[in-house]
Amino acid sequence: MSPLDWWVLGAYMVGTLALGLALARRASGGMEAFFVGGRQIPWWLAGTSMAATTFSVDTPLYVAGVVGTRGIAGNWEWWSFAVAHVVLLYVFARLWSRARVVTDNELSELRYGGTPAAILRGTKGFLYAVVLGAMGIGLAMLAMVKVVEALELLPALGPDLGAQARLWTVAGVSLLVLVYAGIAGIWGVVVTDFLQFVLGMVGAVLVAFFAVRDVGGLGELVARAGSWEGVDLLAFTPMEWNGGILPTGWSALAGISGSTFLAYVFLQWWSFRRSDGGGEFVQRLAAARTEEDAERAAWLFNLLHYVFRTWPWVLVALAAVVLYPDLQDRELGYPRLMLDYLPAGLLGLVVASLVAAFMSTVSTIINWSASYLTNDVYARFLRRDARDAELVLAGRIASVAITALGGAAAFYAEDVTTLFRVIIAVGTGPGLVLILRWFWWRINAWTEVSAMVAGFAVGLGTSVVPILRIDDFGLRLLVTSLASVAVWLPVMLVTRPETPEVLESFYRRVRPGGPGWRRQRERVGLEPLGDPARDALRVGAGLALLFGLMFAVGGALLLRPGVAAANAALALAGILGLRRLASRSRPS
């Protein structure tokens, strides 16, 4: 890092802080203003913020590690969530918008009633904010420490003070994030997210450009990375294809197994705790101005996340394999390329892009976790008559508390892997119940409680406990999902359904489609605002469009014209299908 690089990095951090503070007044109007921006955030800001939130400091390092060890097909570990995100776009975005909640957890007492609903809301509010929120911040801090070490930032400023000094440095950056996230609320988060996402993409493209140029261009990169130590790094799926048209079986050179691939595509996206779009995404959708804006925001996120962001990272990962064949830790290929190939000034810009990724993730976790503590714990159970100014103050105090807990998690955690496994374990299992609660009246609060507890227990045991640990991801996910169903289904059948008053009130507010609400529809005399059959067709067309675009771009960049043409045709079919379905849905 030259002096110019340090000036670029410093200017970015000061500018971000100033922008966040300038938006402080927008957060002072009450809890809705602080956590959902008064429901006035434009769709393009909401969608870009969703993309920035999923771009953490360790994400490009993660992709470099995946491609370097398992090939491009290994990215199905996160590509598979595209199914859930397209379902979110055409099914859940509008449902969440109609629910008019501040947090997704608030839905617990809209969909269910009585003491079980209150217990569920309070438990999830505390667990997700204090436990998951703190671990999420701790995970981001530990990942940032790894980047600081790889880029050798602290030795450039003076003597090496050890690992604790590096962690204190990252904690200091987190405090800077806390200033604008705790004062400006969601407006400060989404506006800085927009700038941080743009900076992150510019950084990724710069690294890819200089690295591929040094290899000798795309043709040389593809030729040298075609088969690496017995793994087909360039395969998009772990399948063999007959003339590129029909699959004939699993490839012996694939970096992931067939069972793992099937688990990614058919299990992972609906078994996780955000299967219906819950979490930070709901906060962005709830902040959008209209249902249509929520749908636009979801589409923008999908395009940015899967189509535009995938391939710069993949190209960097392939270049790192070719240029550093003896590198033991493939994740370090990304920062090493930065140090070796970026000129002064641009290196500072790309380092700033990684700091931006860290800040966008931490600011989102701070605001989201504080919304749980404020809306679902403090305002619901401690101060139900609290005024707006008091709730805003409570949100700011909660932001400080969550940041402090995240710092403690980072200081006391042994490694990133353990934290990551615990987070996944907490979240796997209840996904199917979270989907069904929108479409079937019989799901009750005890069903969701039992699914959450069972998924946590089995997931934790098979991920962390040595005796019970299942190393094959596909098998572990299948065991967790089936065990959860085996618990919540009997619980649902032996417990009472929600009262007619609760069910009818929820139906009036959200008006979901499908036969699962026929009784409530007849009682209240209101037709549903959704058509599940048409929505299913839109999901299919949307997936064709999204994956077609993603693999068409990848095929073009990796000089595979047949793959690019076939997927471009698939994307075109998706566009035509969506347009036809849209014309059918318009009133005459």
Three-class DSSP category at 527? coil
The CB density around residue 415, as the number of other CB atoms within 10 Å, is 8
Question: Quick check: 371 and 395 in contact, CB under 8 A?
Answer: yes
Contact (Cβ atoms closer than 8 angstroms) between residue 50 and residue 350: no
**pLDDT grade for 427, boundaries at 50, 70 and 90:** low
Q: Specify the DSSP class assigned to residue 72.
A: G
* Structure-block tokens of residue 528: 């549903």
pLDDT at 547: 95
Contacts of 524 (CB under 8 A, 6+ apart): 504, 507, 508
Residue 419 lies in a domain: no
Domain carrying residue 355: 3-414
Instruction: Give burial (CB, 10 Å; 0-12/13-18/19+) of 141.
Output: buried
Q: Which amino acid is at 186?
A: I
* C-alpha dist (Å) from residue 155 to 149, 176, 214: 9, 22, 28
What pLDDT digit, counting tens, does each position of 467-521 carry?
A: 777 777 677 778 888 888 999 999 999 999 999 999 999 999 999 988 899 999 9
On whether residue 459 sits in a domain, the answer given is: no
**Phi, psi of 428, rounded to the nearest 5 degrees:** -95, 135
User: How many domains in the chain?
Assistant: 1
Position 148 pLDDT exceeds 80: no
Strand (E) or helix (H) holding 309: none
Given a cut of 50, whether residue 588 has pLDDT beyond it is: no
**Domain membership flag for residue 450:** no
pLDDT at 145: 76
52-72 per-position pLDDT tens digit: 888 777 788 888 888 888 889
Q: What does the pLDDT average to over 233-254?
A: 70
- pLDDT score of 371 more than 60: yes
277 found inside a domain: yes
The type of residue at 21 is L
The answer to whether 415 and 135 have CB atoms below 8 angstroms apart is no
Mean residue pLDDT across the chain: 83
Q: 512-566 pLDDT, tens per residue?
A: 988 899 999 999 999 888 788 888 999 999 999 999 999 999 999 999 998 899 9
pLDDT at 2: 81
Of 127 and 42, the one with more pLDDT: 42
Going by pLDDT thresholds of 50, 70 and 90, the confidence category of residue 231 is confident
> How sure is the predictor about 167, in pLDDT bands with cuts at 50, 70 and 90?
low
Residue 483 within a domain? no
pLDDT of residue 587: 43
479 within some domain: no
Burial letters for 93-131: b for 16+ Cβ neighbours within 10 Å, e otherwise?
bbbbbbbebbbbbbbbbbbbbeebbbebbbbbbebbbbb
HSE on the CB side for 281, CA within 13 Å?
26
Average confidence (pLDDT) over 355-376: 85
**Token couple for 163:** 């690992």
The answer to whether residue 352 is domain-embedded is yes
Would residue 162 count as lying in a domain?
A: yes
Here the CATH number for the domain that contains residue 97 is 1.20.1730.10
**Within 13 Å of residue 94, how many CA atoms lie on the same side as its CB?**
15
Write down the pLDDT at residue 533: 85
Q: Is the pLDDT of residue 121 over 80?
A: yes
Which residues have C-beta within 8 Å of that of residue 70, sequence separation ≥ 6? 231, 255, 256
Model confidence over 403-416: pLDDT tens digits?
888 877 777 765 55
pLDDT at 424 (0 to 100): 60
